[in-house]
Amino acid sequence: MKTFRNIIIGMTVGVLTGCDLVEPDEIVNPNVDEKTFLDSDNPMETWLNGTEKQLALDMSDFVELMEILSDNYFNNYTRSSKVFDIPQLLYTDADVTKLQRHVGELREMADYGLTTVAAADKNTTSADRFRLLCVKAYSFVLAGDFFRALPMENRGEAQEWNAQMAQALTILDEALPLAQSADDRAFVHTLAARAAYRLGERDKSVSHAQQALKESATLCRQVQFDSKNGVLNTAQEAIWSDWFQPLPRLDFLDPKYFQMSSTDQCPITIAKAEENHLILAEAALSTGRLDEAKTHLRNLLRLVKSRPVQEGINDQLEGRYNGGLKSFPNEPDLLVQASPNDSLRAGLIIDRRPPFLISVPYISGTSVTEAMIDGLTDHDSALELVYLMRQEVFFAEGRRVADLGIRLPLCEVEAANQSNPQAYTEAWIPSFVPQNYGLDDFTMDAAARTVTIRYNMNRIIAEHAKEKDVAPFE
């Protein structure tokens, strides 16, 4: 553990400028050891900055890889994973290992701050502890959403995903009394609603969702990046360039991360009020209250429409091919079907060809209209719409994989340290999830001016809602 801590300290202070361990010429002393760090002025401030910086970097990796693992994006380039799109999730895959390590490092950095750094820095405040507890809780949320099982402590035995979510709830309970504002309290309740939702604990999830909306009706908590100091959003590079191509019916939401100048680094949202409306709607549906669910969806729609839209984005170099593996639609007159059995919809593909500039919602967006909500008459079609809105609202935030019920395996290095090395080394991919790139499959008919997506995964989720892998409230 001592070696691990020294590595983390070097990683944390070595990239920060403007902190007490950086000389005025921004040259960092590489020989700072643990004692020197703890005896320095304001070590908690430095540690917090480093921990939150690490959260941002880890989230950019999660978003990059989870988006191509889902049906949101296809990796049309040579960089990033070439197997997550299949989906192929091997416990020997370096990306699986990387994501698992991100969870562990966030947990350990938060723990070290809460114990060793807090003990060394007499100026540690409740606000400091709150921030660290939120990072720790979020590490368990990531583990619970995306992995079959992970250790919950250094060198510990792997615990299944539901234990991870339960631990997140315990830590959030500890964090709540330390919250400094209504927005902080809304953040805690939103994460708790998310964790309880995944566990299928409907009443608890609803209670947290309702309280979150009372505290803040417009919550949007993000991790930030900084190009000047090398804290870069790698998901932005993949999405803003032509690596990743969106599923055609999601074209209007891309790129969520963009550059208006060469130094722009867009933040990634990790919690927002929209989630609470979605939870309330799904909970109402699960108990047969269709009209109430429709009310929650209308409230959600009003919130989404109030979110900002970036206008004047020059995305003209995005040709939806540019030498990639396959061509994606790039003409706004094309009509899109969510599956061969769905009706054609206009307006889902936007015109980004010269000389046009585009407008993109960068907190939340949706193609769902009030008329679509009003027209809902049965449980299954309403549940399908809920999952369409979940997909669109959380687009490019790395959330879709959890809704599809896919879970990553325990990586090879960690498995070797378990009492049962074979446990959890197979990924969990539900039988209804298409293989062989089926999640991203579509056809274009140039003469008919149509695009047909092979699988409407939101309908498939609704059809399999009673299975354990998806729709936790059903």
Per 3-state DSSP, what percentage of the chain is helix, strand, and coil (rounded to 5)?
50, 10, 40
pLDDT at 242: 86
CA atoms within 13 A on the CB side of 223: 26
Q: Enter the DSSP assignment of 222.
A: E
Question: What are the beta bridge partners of residue 345?
Answer: 336
Contact 53, 15 (CB under 8 A): yes
The amino acid that residue 169 corresponds to is: L
pLDDT at 336: 98
3-state class of 275 per DSSP? helix
**CA atoms of 8 and 34, how far apart (whole Å):** 10
Q: With CA atoms as reference, report the closest residue to 101 among 6, 235, 221, 8.
A: 8
3-state class of 223 per DSSP? strand
Question: What are the beta bridge partners of residue 158?
Answer: 151
**CA atoms of 50 and 29, how far apart (whole Å):** 16
Question: What are the beta bridge partners of residue 358?
Answer: 313
The amino acid that residue 414 corresponds to is: E
DSSP track, 26-45: --B-TT--HHHHHHSSSHHH
Neighbours of 346 (CB within 10 A): 10
Contact 108, 8 (CB under 8 A): yes
Residue with token string 């964790």: 195
**CA atoms of 148 and 405, how far apart (whole Å):** 10
Split the chain (474 residues) into runs of 10 and give each run's mean pLDDT. Answer: 36 31 43 85 95 97 98 93 97 98 97 97 98 98 98 95 98 98 98 98 98 98 94 95 95 97 95 98 98 98 98 92 84 97 97 95 98 98 98 98 98 95 97 98 97 98 96 98
Residue 222, Cβ density class (10 Å: 0-12 exposed, 13-18 middle, ≥19 buried) = middle
pLDDT at 33: 86
Residue with token string 């606000």: 127
